[in-house]
Amino acid sequence: MTRRLAVAVERFPIAGAFTIARGSRTEAVVVVCTVTEGVDGTRGWGECVPYARYGESVESVCALLEAQAHAIADGASRLDLLALMPAGAARNALDCALFDLEAKQLGRPAWEIAGLTAPQVATTAYTLSLGTPESMEAAARTASARPLLKVKLGGEGDPERIAAVRRGAPDSRLIVDANEAWRPDTIEANLAACVAAGVGLIEQPLPAGEDALLAEIARPIPICADESLHDRAGLDALSRRYDAINIKLDKAGGLTEAVMLAHEARARGFSLMIGCMVGTSLAMAPAMLLAHHADYVDLDGPLLLARDREPGLLFEGSLVHPPAADLWG
């Protein structure tokens, strides 16, 4: 029996609001791709989060997925998708669905199929949304028992924000994420503020395509590429500018590409962060296979939601457990 592809849009409310330099939202809109095969209806599924920053919309992602219905029916593999579809959210959902289907059909865990070692419990960062210094200090105090906090910054006023977060969470390790909001005339003052606060990593301080300055200035804190890197094709452009990369399955276009990207980036000397968009446990589950290979893990999407899907990943504070077979893989 041929494979059948189905696409659905689902909405999950965010607990409060999620705010970064590019705006704020109160719900996560995700696209779920399901591939079914066989008389017993064995099903694999995957989730993605369309991201406007990369020219994606729910409609465009659904259209890209539905356009692959015939290829999937004809038996297209995960490796075939690398040529059939561009890197991005749509390919991620379909790649992860095929991974899940393959694991179920073979009776083997997805990590083994991917050539990885068994996933382990990981400590995830917990994200603090962009706000006023006062609101961010309060949020940091509430989350101060968490060992790793990721702080969203926004440009003007960032030294005050990061100092306020450090006051609120004096013992937590800190990552900051500027989401491309810093500028050449502010980056050194912002770096100095991060040094003073004991920040361990800075994500994407300058806009992608306008980050050549990073190769010319002192980097007292490691700099991590996010918007500047999607898949392996972008690694050459990072030379001398970045010390680490943030691998997100929605950018890379699936776990298949992400595994290859992780191996190649390590070979080039980059540190690794495994990150996510704001999605459910279904989106985090495939990324968990890479978590124990990373220096930083940022898979807190479900912690930011008012409700997750059931069954979901098991979180114990900031500890996140590998996915059970009834969720994915």
13 Cβ neighbours under 8 A, 6+ residues apart: 26, 27, 28, 305, 306, 307
Active-site choice (104, 150, 248, 251): 248
3-state secondary structure of 154: coil
Edge-to-edge strands of the sheet including 296-297? 126-128, 148-152, 173-177, 201-203, 223-225, 244-247, 271-274, 296-297
User: How far apart, in whole angstroms, are the C-alpha atoms of residue 312 and residue 228?
Assistant: 31
User: How far apart, in whole angstroms, are the C-alpha atoms of residue 231 and residue 184?
Assistant: 26
Active-site choice (104, 150, 152, 251): 152
Residue 152 annotated among the catalytic residues of the structure:
yes
Is 224 within 8 Å of 205 (Cβ atoms)?
no
242 Cβ neighbours under 8 A, 6+ residues apart: 214, 223, 224, 225, 228, 229, 270
Structure tokens, 174: 């800190």
Tracing tokens 């989060």 back to the chain, one arrives at 49
The catalytic residue positions are 152, 248
